[in-house]
Amino acid sequence: MFRGLTLAVVALAAVAAPVSAAGISGQYIEARTCDVWTGPCFANSEMNLTGKHAVMGWKVDKGALDSVSLDGLSVVAIVAASDTLGLEQTGPAKAVLIVDSRATAKQREALIRLAKKQAGDLLKNVVRVENAKVELCTTGCSEGGCAHLEAGKAHIETRCLDSHHDKVCGNETNFYPPLAKNVKATAAVATKHGFAGQGFDATWTEQERRGAYVGSFEVR
C-alpha cells in the first residue's frame, strides 16, 4: 500500500513540475536612420522626419526554440515604419526577414518565430522572407571596427563611440532604447548602414550615424 502511495505521489509531482524551456542567447546588432545616442534637442529635430527605417540582427550562440536547436544560426529583420523608431512605435510597420541560408526548414520557422518574439509589433506585418548567407559579429570582429552585419542586401558596419569626437550638443545619452526585447547593448556609430533589396517602396544608405546598438540578447 505504502509503495503504491509513494509511486502515486512521485507521478503527481512529475505532472505538477514545470517544464523548463531551453534558453537562447547570442549576439545582437541594430542600426536605424536616426540617432539613438543623442540629446533631446537633436532627437526632437528628427522626430517624424527621419528614423523610420532599421536593420536588426540576431545570431544565436547557443539555444533552442520549441526543441529546435538554433546554435550558430542568424536571422535579420529590415523594418520600414510610418513613424520615427523612437521611444514608442504607434504607427504601422512593414518588415522583410532574411533567414540564414544554412537553416533547415524547421530551423527557418523557429528563427522567424524568434525574431517576431523579440521585435514584437515591428514584425507584425512581414511582407517578404528571404534566405541568404548571414555574417554577424559583435566581438573581436576587425581592427578598428566595433561590429558588422552582412545579410543579402542589408548591411551594418559600426565603430565604438568616441565620447569627445562624437558629441555634438554635450548632452548625449542613450535617448532611444534598443528596438528588440531582452537585449543588453551599447550605443555605437553606424559607419555604414543600409538596405538595397526588395519589399519596400524605398531603399536607403547612411554613413556616420550615431544610430546603432551592439550587444547581446538572452531569452529564458
User: Confidence band (pLDDT; 50, 70, 90) for 32?
Assistant: very high
Residues in CB range of 176: below 8 A, 6 or more apart = 34, 36, 43, 85, 86, 87
> Alpha-carbon distance 215 to 218, whole Å?
11
Sign of the alpha-carbon torsion through 138, 140, 145, 151: negative
- From the list 199, 215, 218, the residue with the least C-alpha distance to 53 is 199
C-alpha pair distances (Å), 10 with each of 2, 4, 7, 16, 72? 12, 10, 5, 10, 38
Domain coordinates in residue numbering, the chain: 21-219
pTM of the model as a whole:
0.86
According to DSSP H, which parts of the chain are helical?
A: 2-16, 40-46, 105-119
* pLDDT tens track for 152-187: 999 999 999 887 778 777 778 888 899 999 999 999
> Alpha-carbon distance 105 to 180, whole Å?
24
> Alpha-carbon distance 147 to 93, whole Å?
26
- pLDDT for residue 129: 98
In order, the DSSP letters of 151-193 are ETTEEEEEEE--TTTT-SSS--EE-S--SSSSEEEEEEEEEEE
> Alpha-carbon distance 205 to 31, whole Å?
11
Neighbouring-strand partners of residue 89? none
Side chain identity, residue 125: N
> Alpha-carbon distance 46 to 84, whole Å?
8
- pLDDT for residue 9: 34
- Write down the architecture of domain 21-219 according to CATH: Beta Barrel (2.40)
* pLDDT tens track for 76-129: 999 999 888 876 666 789 999 999 999 999 999 999 999 999 999 999 999 999
* Residue 114 CB coordination number (10 Å): 23
pLDDT at 21 over 50: no
